[in-house]
């Protein structure tokens, strides 16, 4: 049990949902529901008075949707927010907007088998509220602007020599924004990139499609047998593991069902162990923000066979979990602020033969 209860404010336009969420959260001795609000305008009045540690926020509301509220809230009063979203395509799209606007994580409202689905959702929500309570969202404050270290280095020669290299990225809580900020900085002829971001099925496809419109590289949700080639980013589909395999002189991904590893499917551990086995010292491993330690042993295995590795530093992580464990276990060579990871990756490519 935590020393201090986590103070939660529930924001949802439906009274029944507010009651269900309040009752479900009250079952956890570490959580205290300090209030509810029927819309963001009421919530904005209550936040300074109730001083919640975490907000739960409905994605779709009539007077102001959750995303618009986040865009107004986070620069002024950054708070960890867990979105409660529907599984509809519109709900998924708005949830991704919300993550981009500063939400820490999200849960789905059950769409079928309501009783069983509700219990599972409440268990997930209680867990994600606890994770959110330790999340670092201070960088959303408008006064804190992070800037990357400018680089005047011409990386074209390194890229020309790196066609057989593969970059492997793992992320969880806070990862969608971290991945976006890294991938959009990479040039179009970057070596092939494979990514595991802890996300449910459906969301990874939409996340990939959105990132494809923002990046210079081609980004897509991975399909079994896809080739890993220069200029392409493959994101593991939610609910499936992704491994790197080598067939003759080409690298491909194997995408398959399987049990959770370290509590996750897809798992960073599975991907990084496959990189250690099949890519060896031609790989670069990058561990971004996330709760827990998924992938730490895999990154250590990569480093042990000569791969280069780095992890996001504590000051720029939403949750300094996966990078911390990777660092402590000797998997990560160094800790790097998020805004400097693209340049640090380019420098590693320069150093690789």
For residue 42 the two structure tokens come to 């009421």
| 8 Cβ neighbours under 8 A, 6+ residues apart | 25, 31, 32, 33, 34, 52, 53, 54, 55, 56, 129
Smallest CA-to-CA distance from 232 within 218, 220, 242, 221 is with 218
Q: How far apart are CA 147 and CA 288, in angstroms?
A: 18
Contact 12, 38 (CB under 8 A): yes
Q: How far apart are CA 240 and CA 265, in angstroms?
A: 6
* Backbone phi and psi for residue 345, each to the nearest 5 degrees, phi listed first: -65, -45
* Backbone phi and psi for residue 221, each to the nearest 5 degrees, phi listed first: -70, 135
Which residues are catalytically annotated? Answer: 172, 198, 294
């Amino acid at each position: 049990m935590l020393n201090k209860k986590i103070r939660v404010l529930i924001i949802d336009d439906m009274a029944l949902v507010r009651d269900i969420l309040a009752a479900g959260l009250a079952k956890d001795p570490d959580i205290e529901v300090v209030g509810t609000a029927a819309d963001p305008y009421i919530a904005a009045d209550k936040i300074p008075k109730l001083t919640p540690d975490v907000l739960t926020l409905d994605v779709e509301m009539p007077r102001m949707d959750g995303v618009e509220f986040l865009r107004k809230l986070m620069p002024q009063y950054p708070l960890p927010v867990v979105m409660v979203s529907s599984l509809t395509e519109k709900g998924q799209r708005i949830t991704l907007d919300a993550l981009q606007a500063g939400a820490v994580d999200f849960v789905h409202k059950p769409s079928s088998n309501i009783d069983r689905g509700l219990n599972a959702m409440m268990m997930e929500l209680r867990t994600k509220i606890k994770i959110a309570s330790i999340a670092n969202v201070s960088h959303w404050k408008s006064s804190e602007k992070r800037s990357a270290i400018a680089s005047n280095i011409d990386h074209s020669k390194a890229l020309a020599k790196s066609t057989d290299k593969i970059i492997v990225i793992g992320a969880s809580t806070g990862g969608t924004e971290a991945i976006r900020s890294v991938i959009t900085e990479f040039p179009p002829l970057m070596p092939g990139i494979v990514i595991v971001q802890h996300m449910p099925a459906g969301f990874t496809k939409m996340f990939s499609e959105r990132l494809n419109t923002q990046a210079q590289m081609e980004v897509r949700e991975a399909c079994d047998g896809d080739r890993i080639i220069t200029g392409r980013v493959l994101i593991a589909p939610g609910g499936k593991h992704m491994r790197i395999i080598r067939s003759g002189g080409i690298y491909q991904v194997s995408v398959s069902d399987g049990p959770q590893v370290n509590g996750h499917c897809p798992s960073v551990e599975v991907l990084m162990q496959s990189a250690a086995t099949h890519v060896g010292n031609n790989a670069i491993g990058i561990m971004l923000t996330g709760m827990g330690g998924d992938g730490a042993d895999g990154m250590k295995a990569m480093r042990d066979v000569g791969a280069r590795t780095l992890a996001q530093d504590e000051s720029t992580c939403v949750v300094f979990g996966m990078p911390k464990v990777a660092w402590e276990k000797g998997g990560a060579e160094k800790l790097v602020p998020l805004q400097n990871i693209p340049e640090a990756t380019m420098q590693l490519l320069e150093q690789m033969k």
